[in-house]
């Protein structure tokens, strides 16, 4: 059976990722819901956000991508297009640990430290320069929902990305 390909446009994927960030932010801020209940949802929307942004990058660069929730597989394909994605390798690997468990609840209790690490990883990826540039370009188009003034969307000061080697040798041949 042939693999099913992602059919959404990069615009649609990024726009949907912004929606996941909005929901993620609301779960983080909701103090009424017990942590053990909301942690699954935080993980789910965190992994969905990253999955959609990486797929959107790949599609924007003229490539096709199979439908998968494996963030590492998607990251590998994005990194083949532009090796500056090495800068978010650890974050993608971390989040990949939560794709199935967050979506289907097959896990043990997620600690507060894990949640903090997950949120930090998503923020790092969200503000990764290539993805941030795409969001900014899309925000100039009608119907794009660029989020502003959320605690989550305030850029952390510690991200120092090395973007000097922005293309792999194969993409320049």
**pLDDT (tens digit per residue) in 55-65:** 999 999 999 99
For residue 107, the model assigns a pLDDT of 56
Q: Please give the Cα distance from 119 to 125 (Å, whole number).
A: 10
For residue 170, the model assigns a pLDDT of 40
Asked, for residue 138, whether it belongs to a domain, the answer is yes
Asked, for residue 48, whether it belongs to a domain, the answer is yes
For residue 36, the model assigns a pLDDT of 78
- pLDDT, average across residues 72-97: 97
Q: How many domains is the chain built from? A: 1
Task: Supply the pTM of this predicted model.
Answer: 0.86
* Tens-place pLDDT, residues 124-133: 999 999 999 9
Confidence of residue 120 (pLDDT cuts 50, 70, 90): very high
3-state secondary structure the chain: CCCCECCCCHHHHHHHHHHHHHHHHHHHHCCCCCHHHHHHHHHHHHHHHHHHHHHHHHHHCCCCCECCCCHHHHHHHHHHHCHHHHHHHHHHHHHHCCHHHHHHCCCCCCCHHHHHHHHHHHHHHHCCHHHHHHHHHHCCCCCCCCCCCCCCCCCCCCCCCCCCCCCCHHHHC
pLDDT above 70: residue 43: yes
Asked, for residue 146, whether it belongs to a domain, the answer is yes
Lowest mean pLDDT: which of 3-7, 36-40, 60-64, 114-118?
36-40
Asked, for residue 144, whether it belongs to a domain, the answer is yes
Which of 39, 40, 98 is CA-nearest to residue 70?
Answer: 98
Asked, for residue 150, whether it belongs to a domain, the answer is yes
Q: Please give the Cα distance from 93 to 71 (Å, whole number).
A: 7
Asked, for residue 4, whether it belongs to a domain, the answer is no
Asked, for residue 1, whether it belongs to a domain, the answer is no
- Spatial CB neighbours of 124, under 8 Å, sequence gap ≥ 6: 88, 91, 156, 159
Domain span at residue 121 reads: 10-172
- Average pLDDT taken over every residue of the chain: 86
Asked, for residue 66, whether it belongs to a domain, the answer is yes
């Amino acid at each position: 059976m042939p693999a099913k390909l992602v059919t959404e446009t990069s615009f649609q994927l990024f726009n949907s990722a912004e929606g996941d960030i909005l929901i993620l932010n609301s779960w983080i801020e909701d103090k009424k819901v017990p942590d053990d209940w909301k942690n699954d949802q935080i993980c789910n929307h965190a992994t969905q956000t990253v999955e959609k942004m990486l797929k959107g990058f790949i599609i924007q660069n003229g490539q096709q991508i199979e439908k998968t929730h494996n963030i590492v597989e998607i990251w590998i394909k994005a990194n083949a297009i532009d090796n500056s994605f090495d800068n978010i390798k650890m974050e993608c690997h971390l989040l990949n640990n939560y794709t199935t468990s967050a979506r289907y609840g097959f896990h043990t209790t997620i600690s507060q430290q894990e949640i903090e690490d997950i949120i930090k990883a998503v923020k790092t990826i969200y503000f990764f320069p290539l993805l941030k540039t795409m969001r900014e370009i899309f925000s100039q188009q009608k119907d794009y929902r660029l989020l502003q003034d959320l605690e989550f969307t305030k850029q952390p000061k510690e991200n120092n990305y090395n973007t000097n080697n922005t293309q792999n040798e194969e993409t320049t041949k």
